[in-house]
Amino acid sequence: RKCFRALCCKGPPPPRPEYDLVCIGLSGSGKTSLLSQLCSESPENIVSTTGFSIKAVPFQNAILNVKELGGADNIRKYWSRYYQGSQGVIFVLDSASSEDDLETARNELHSALQHPQLCTLPFLILANHQDKPAARSVQEIKKYFELEPLARGKRWILKPCSLDDMEAVKDSFSLLINLLEERDFEPSRM
Ligand SMILES: Nc1nc2c(ncn2[C@@H]2O[C@H](COP(=O)(O)OP(=O)(O)OP(=O)(O)O)[C@@H](O)[C@H]2O)c(=O)[nH]1
Ligand SMILES: [Mg+2]
């Protein structure tokens, strides 16, 4: 009987921690599609994001308030105005895009990694569109994006993914949540 009580009468579960994240990446990289899937929203009628869009994405052990910034050419220059208050960064790229777009994505990622408001935060970099035959592998992307020197000492995760394998996407987000939690437990510095 005691055992039964212990199992069933524990009261409400503790509230899940919430984190504010910013999600960037070129137009068409799949930011809205991935975030909608994570929120179990219908994948239909997704249009290019003008300005920004905020979603509360629920996970078992945390809620991520993700602010997606539209990736179109004329919006990207305003990205940095929306960085303040972020606790982590999600960068989505199209692994099958043209050489030109890949170079633009690399430059944008480098700017983000060096931005004063983002440079100390954990980064989740998603090499999306892996279902396409032209997709570059995560190793190729790691090399092309020259992440090693730039991101050294930072907490970042680079993972391949595609819209049709949401389990892999969820696993990547779990790793990001681990990085966000680590910060919570960091002893305060004197
Ligand atoms: N084949 C394939 N298509 C994808 C994948 N992810 C997204 N797409 C498609 O790419 C298109 C653009 O996706 P969006 O989610 O609107 O891209 P976005 O990054 O939000 O773009 P902006 O809001 O303009 O910055 C949609 O037609 C998606 O269905 C993927 O992994 N594989
Ligand atoms: Mg979008």
Q: How far is the CA of 92 from the centre of ligand 1 (A)?
A: 10
Ligand 1 contact, 76 CB (< 6 A): no
**Pairing of the two strands 63-69 and 18-24:** parallel
Q: What pLDDT score was predicted for residue 105?
A: 98
Q: What pLDDT score was predicted for residue 148?
A: 79
| Helical H segments across the chain, by residue range | 2-8, 31-38, 73-76, 99-114, 138-144, 147-151, 166-185
The rounded distance, in Å, linking the Cα atoms of 32 and 39 is: 10
Contacts 24+ apart (CB under 8 A), 75-84: 75/50, 75/51, 76/26, 76/108, 79/24, 79/108, 79/112, 80/115, 80/117, 82/22, 82/52, 83/22, 83/115, 83/117, 83/118, 84/117
Looking from the CA of residue 53, the nearest atom of ligand 1 is 23
What averages of pLDDT result for each successive group of 10 residues across the chain (190 residues)?
Answer: 61 88 98 97 90 96 98 96 97 98 97 94 97 97 86 84 97 96 61
Ligand 1 contact, 46 CB (< 6 A): yes
Q: Are 40 and 33 in contact (CB under 8 A)?
A: no
31 belongs to an annotated ligand binding site: yes
Q: How far is the CA of 29 from the centre of ligand 1 (A)?
A: 5
Among protein residues, the one whose CA lies closest to atom 13 of ligand 1: 30
Show Cβ contacts of residue 179 under 8 Å, excluding neighbours closer than 6 positions.
88, 122, 155, 157
11 belongs to an annotated ligand binding site: no
Dihedral of the CA atoms 51, 150, 155, 85 (nearest 10)? Answer: -30
